[in-house]
Amino acid sequence: MLGLLKDQFPVRIDLPNGAACTIRPIGEEDESAFRSFHAVITEEEQLFIRSQIKDGSLFHEWISDQQNVQHFALLAFVDGRLVAMGSLHQRPGGWKRHIGRVYFLTHPEFRGLGILDELLGILVKISTQIGLTKLESELNGERKVAIDSMASIGFRELVRLPNYIRDMQAQSHDYVLMGMNLFSDFENLGTGD
């Protein structure tokens, strides 16, 4: 169902610094940009990223879902350079099928320009169009800017567990689950499995 929404793109926005930003779904042609983007993420920050990002497996996982049944990834470009990414993940069935999960990452040089807010806004809109009624995102407690951005568009902290998760170097950190209730488009609400 997510694949049907691709006709809503690209989205163009003007950033506060005057740069034009284009947001569109990920494509096979983006592998080089995807790798370059992740190469600038510091080792310290990578300790908090759930997936392995430098080996290309995340890119290939997203691209292999051609119909965007479970993954819908958006990329934001400024002057042809990948500067942010956001993704919506949907469970195809089961008792949490109405809950989407969102993940995002912004290039260090482009943080604080509102790109994350735009990506999240688009993903929230898409979520309502496909009938999701809730969104969630898991973060470590150190991602204060991301937590604040999410709160500014309606997410709230559902759970904070001190020293619950461990980074790739076995250091403990707070686990934060952010959530948001959605009001879905009526015609897209399913009646069950």
Reading the chain (193 residues) residue by residue, the pLDDT tens digits are 455 566 788 999 999 988 999 999 988 898 888 888 888 877 777 766 655 555 656 666 666 666 666 788 899 999 999 999 998 988 878 888 899 999 988 898 998 898 988 999 999 999 998 889 999 999 889 888 889 888 988 999 999 999 998 877 888 999 999 999 997 555 555 545 4
Query: What pLDDT, on a 0 to 100 scale, did the predictor assign at position 3?
Result: 54
Please identify which residue in the block is written with the tokens 């150190």. 142
Q: Is residue 177 part of a domain?
A: yes
What residues make up the domain containing 33? 2-188
Beta strands 20-25; 71-78: pairing state: antiparallel
Structural domain contains residue 36: yes
Domain membership of residue 193 (yes or no) is no
Please report whether residue 19 resides in a domain: yes
- 162 domain residue, yes or no: yes
Give me the pLDDT at residue 92, please. 79
**Residue 24 placed within a domain:** yes
Q: Which helix (H) or strand (E) holds 157?
A: strand 156-166
Would residue 163 count as lying in a domain? yes
Q: What is the CATH number of the domain that holds 35?
A: 3.40.630.30
CA pair distance 99, 138, nearest whole angstrom: 13
pLDDT, position 193: 46
In the beta sheet, which residues pair with residue 173? 165
